[in-house]
Amino acid sequence: MPRREFFKKAATVAGSAVVGSTLAEASEVPSTGHPIDNRKVADIAFPQKRPLITYSDRPPLLETPREVFAQPITPNDLFFVRWHMPMIPTYINPHKFHITIDGEVETPLRLSLASLKKEFEAVEITSVLQCGGNNRSAFHPTPGGIQWGPGAMGCAKWKGARLKDVLAKAGLKKGASWIKFNGLEKPVYTKTDGFVRALELEKLHDQIIIAYEMNGEELPYLNGFPVRLILPGFYSDSWIKMLSNITVTSSKPQLHFMDHAYRIPDNDCECETPDNLAPKTKPIEEMNVNSLIGYPVSGTKVKANAQLIVRGVAFDGGHGIVKVEISIDGGQSWQEAKLDDGKQGSYAYRSFSHTLTPKKSGSLTIMAKATNTKGETQPFAYEVKWNRGGYKFNGIDEVTVEVVA
């Protein structure tokens, strides 16, 4: 499809979506505190996507259904979508597109897509991309913002050029300390702050790339075509889509989406209460340990005395998952699941499977919790500490199935 027709079609297929609305509120919370899955896939599909859970069509906000996470790589057409600004280019000519690198550099650059592919070594990394507000609806009381379920995330194989190599070609001036990233999405009103993020230069490493491929294909339009920043281990707010400008600065830039938005309490528990908000906050950055059951999903009917294979994924900010455990008695006892070989790398999903045999008819709740190499493990959902932005929820996951004779 010609890209100039992309959003024309998107407007047509998404016309029945309620702009900016959320789906039905979560049902009554079970005793463990985790919300029951009740979000439905939309009857519509955006271009290059299969039908997804749809919250908004402008900007596009699409969530991946739970069952997709029974596999370690998320297909491009099922990958979640999160934009911040309603003004997204209706057409990008890949032959005319370029990225500017300026600021505190010796040689400002204007890189075309072709030069990015030809002049720099191509590298590939498999990494999880997760919205900081993933599973926000699980917090109680519910904070404001998009009421994501557990599917505002995905894992893909990203290919592109190292950011380090691009900056090396530009040459960093003495005193350079921050890197600012901007993309092509724009606000409607000129006085509205654009979605711009920044990274301390000291946090730059070889696995941060400017990607032009996702799972062996060019980036889908809604996932940042033609290039996006890949910042493995960090939440997706830092993974700028349609990356168009990289500016190196000698001091920390003043940015709305760094100084006021996407922040959590700056204390040991990263928590607060609605009646006692933390006076000091910090940007969200590294992902915490988490897991999700992809199969079965809540409501699945399974046979008593028949083998049931539970499948899902676990991940963290790059330290690596060492253990996933399964419980069917409300967390009183746990059985260790089988993990994949981990060859996708520490930033990728670690898929797990566990075979169990339900004995009695009736409702059965299956829980999963992950532990990483640092010994960090998931708390029960009711133990997750609250914050005003609804960020970094990582409560023990659960699904409830119906066992039939």
Instruction: Residue 394: give the domain boundaries.
Output: 290-404
Domain limit, last residue, from 236, 268, 283: 283
Query: 226-279, pLDDT tens digit by residue?
Result: 999 999 999 999 999 999 999 999 999 999 999 999 999 999 999 999 999 999
Query: Can you tell me the distance from the alpha carbon of 186 to that of 172, in angstroms, rounded to the nearest whole number?
Result: 28
Residue 194 confidence (pLDDT): 87
Rounded to two decimals, the pTM is 0.91
Residue 34 confidence (pLDDT): 58
- Residue 142 located in a structural domain: no
Domain limit, last residue, from 283, 298, 314: 283
Dihedral sign, CA of 73, 77, 80, 86?
positive
Beta strands in 4-77 (DSSP E): 53-57, 60-63
Query: 338-383, pLDDT tens digit by residue?
Result: 999 999 999 999 999 999 999 999 999 999 999 999 999 999 999 9
- Residue 57 located in a structural domain: yes
The DSSP call for residue 43 is S
Q: Are residue 227 and residue 168 in the same domain, yes or no?
A: yes
- Determine what percent of the chain is predicted with pLDDT higher than 90: 86
- Residue 92 located in a structural domain: no
pLDDT < 50: residue spans in the chain: 1-4, 7-8, 11-31
Q: Are residue 227 and residue 124 in the same domain, yes or no?
A: yes
How many domains does the chain fold into? Answer: 3
Q: What phi and psi, each to the nearest 5 degrees, are found at residue 370?
A: -110, 155
Residue 79 confidence (pLDDT): 98
Contact 121, 107 (CB under 8 A): no
Q: Are residue 76 and residue 108 in the same domain, yes or no?
A: no
Dihedral sign, CA of 231, 236, 240, 241?
positive
Q: Are residue 279 and residue 342 in the same domain, yes or no?
A: no
Chain position carrying tokens 């500017």: 100
Q: Are residue 269 and residue 328 in the same domain, yes or no?
A: no
DSSP string, 211-265: EEEETTEEPPGGGTTT-EEE-TTB-GGGS-SSEEEEEEESS----HHHHTSSEEE
Q: Are residue 64 and residue 108 in the same domain, yes or no?
A: no
Q: Are residue 181 and residue 77 in the same domain, yes or no?
A: no
- Residue 246 located in a structural domain: yes
